[in-house]
Amino acid sequence: MQTTMLKAKLHRATVTHSELGYEGSCAIDGKILDFSGIREYEQIQIYNINTGGRFTTYAIRAEEGTGIFSVNGAAARLACAGDLLIICAFASYDQDELKNYKPTLVYFDEQNEVTHSSHSIPVQAA
């Protein structure tokens, strides 16, 4: 049996560009893709913190070290420069793989610099 689990999460990334005329996808700084384990052309879910909107697209590689998060094509109608995003990638794992399963969670500041990463979501007291 396969179970679909969170593979990687980019938390509170700031949209740097919104390119309606582009063919589609979400361009992400190549160093961030490598660090998170998200592959170019991999399906991603995007959750817009500002609007509550959710949509599916795929990741493409932007220039490394630029901090770019560019929402392109039709998705540009769903996120504007300055919006905060949560970007998630999911994968299917078999029961043996789940024994050592840990997602990669990457957190950003306002300039899209990585502040820290983790393999678990911290539990907050009520």
Q: Where are the domains of the chain?
A: 2-92
Q: Under a CB-based contact definition with an 8 Å cutoff, are residues 3 and 91 in contact?
A: no
CATH of 2-92, one of 1.10.1330.10, 2.60.40.420, 1.20.1070.10, 2.40.40.20: 2.40.40.20
126 residues of the chain, pLDDT tens digit each: 999 999 999 999 999 999 999 887 999 999 999 999 999 999 999 999 999 999 999 999 999 999 999 999 999 999 999 999 999 999 999 999 999 999 999 999 999 999 999 998 777 766
Catalytic residues: 25, 58
Q: Under a CB-based contact definition with an 8 Å cutoff, are residues 86 and 6 in contact?
A: no
β-partners of residue 2 are: 94
